[in-house]
């Protein structure tokens, strides 16, 4: 009996204003794998990730989780995924620790440990409006240390972080897949991760010059 992929995408399409965003896309991601979605700006990478998180509904095609269409296992699927968008999404009037407590879904119990993991020790009680853009991004990334989600969807996760932060995040991704998790991410960063797989988001022909 063939092994079931954790996530399978079959001929997925999305239309906006009666125009296709990207060509039908197919790929599969297994436990222990990282899939990088490539494509130029405006090719639909963010739209694809939002489809995969059910924030948008596809025009056609299928998203299959552990062998079942997500329409048949929606609760399990949503419980097993984590999405980080290309914006930090932190609440500026909350402290770093308060943001993590608000976003936490399991994993590390201590917000202090999670902030330490992203090298923000001592910033627990600092309001996020007093943090730099890079530090705000690290607060969002600390969420990766406070989740038990198997499948991560990350949209440009390396935005606004320095070389040290890039290395830290790469190690975090390695550890996640080593534990049997999986990652689908969009990034223009050249990743130094063994076994990285890639798929392309190709603008649909009816996008014209857009």
Question: Which structural domains are found in the chain, ordered by start?
Answer: 1-80+150-210 (3.40.50.300), 87-149 (no CATH)
Q: What would the pLDDT profile of 129-172 be if each residue is shown by its tens digit?
A: 999 988 999 999 999 988 889 999 999 999 888 888 899 999 99
Q: Are 42 and 189 in contact (CB under 8 A)?
A: no
The answer to whether residues 153 and 122 touch, using CB atoms and an 8 Å cutoff, is no
User: Among residues 85, 197, 185, 92, which one has the least CA distance to residue 141?
Assistant: 85
Per-residue pLDDT, 101: 86
pLDDT at 93 over 90: yes
- Which pLDDT does position 189 carry in this prediction? 85
Q: Which helix (H) or strand (E) holds 35?
A: strand 34-38
Whether residue 106 is predicted with pLDDT greater than 70 in this model: the reply is no
Confidence of residue 204 (pLDDT cuts 50, 70, 90): confident
Are the CB atoms for 183 and 173 separated by under 8 Å?
yes
**Are 4 and 159 spatial neighbours (Cβ–Cβ below 8 Å)?**
no
Distance CA 99, CA 23 (A): 37
Q: What is the pTM of this model?
A: 0.90
pLDDT at residue 210 tops 50: no
pLDDT of residue 209: 39
Confidence of residue 1 (pLDDT cuts 50, 70, 90): very low
From 61-65, 71-75, 85-89, 159-163, the region with the lowest mean pLDDT: 85-89
């Amino acid at each position: 009996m063939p092994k079931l992929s954790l996530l399978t995408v079959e001929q997925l399409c999305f239309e906006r204003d009666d125009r296709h965003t990207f060509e039908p896309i197919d790929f599969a991601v297994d436990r222990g794998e990282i899939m990088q979605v490539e494509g130029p700006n405006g090719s639909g990478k963010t739209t694809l990730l939002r489809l995969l998180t059910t924030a948008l509904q596809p025009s056609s095609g299928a998203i299959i989780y552990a062998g079942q269409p997500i329409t048949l296992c929606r609760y399990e699927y949503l419980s097993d995924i984590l999405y980080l968008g290309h914006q930090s999404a932190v609440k500026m009037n909350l402290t770093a620790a308060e943001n993590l407590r608000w976003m936490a879904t399991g994993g590390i119990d201590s917000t202090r440990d999670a902030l330490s993991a992203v090298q923000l020790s001592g910033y627990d009680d600092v309001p996020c409006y007093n943090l730099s853009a890079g530090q705000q991004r690290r607060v969002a990334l600390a969420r990766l240390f406070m989740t038990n989600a198997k499948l991560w969807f990350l949209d440009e996760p390396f935005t606004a972080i320095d070389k040290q932060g890039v290395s830290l995040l790469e190690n975090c991704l390695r550890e996640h897949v080593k534990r049997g998790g999986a990652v689908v991410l969009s990034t223009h960063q050249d990743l130094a991760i063994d076994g990285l797989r890639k798929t392309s988001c190709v603008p649909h022909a009816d996008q014209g010059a857009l």
